[in-house]
Amino acid sequence: MTAKNGQLYQLSLTGVLGGLMGVFVTRLFGANRLNPDDILEQVKRQFRQESPIEGAWIEKHAVPFQKFAVKSRVYYGGINRYEDDQLVQYQFVADAETGSVLDIHRL
């Protein structure tokens, strides 16, 4: 192996190892989670299709969640709106990675 080929091999190996470390760190620190504000906007859009909303909130930190055998990390949030002249509150649970609403109920 010539010096030039050895350097090219070393650079390629370094690039591959760097890429693998990037994937590991991304998964370790949860960088693949969606922004909670984006999830809240998605839920608000869905509620607005039925009627105007009065207020909304979402927690900024994902927490562990388990429903039966399914485990994930989720954000809790809520929506307030008027129904028949009464303020009604809903609480929802959204998957932190996909933004899918896993559960929603009227309080």
The pLDDT tens digits for 35-63 are 999 999 999 999 999 999 999 999 999 99
Report the predicted TM-score, pTM, of the whole model to 2 decimal places: 0.68
More confident residue, 22 or 73: 73
Helix (H) or strand (E) holding 28: helix 3-28
The encoded tokens of residue 88 equal: 């009604």
Cα 40 from Cα 79, distance rounded (Å)? 9
More confident residue, 93 or 70: 93
Whose structure tokens read 């039925």? 50
Contact 105, 78 (CB under 8 A): no
The pLDDT tens digits for 12-40 are 545 444 554 554 555 555 556 789 999 99
Question: What is the model's pLDDT at position 35?
Answer: 94
Cα 53 from Cα 79, distance rounded (Å)? 7
Instruction: Tally helices (H) and strands (E) across the chain.
Output: 2, 5
Q: Is the pLDDT of residue 2 over 90?
A: no
DSSP character for 2? -
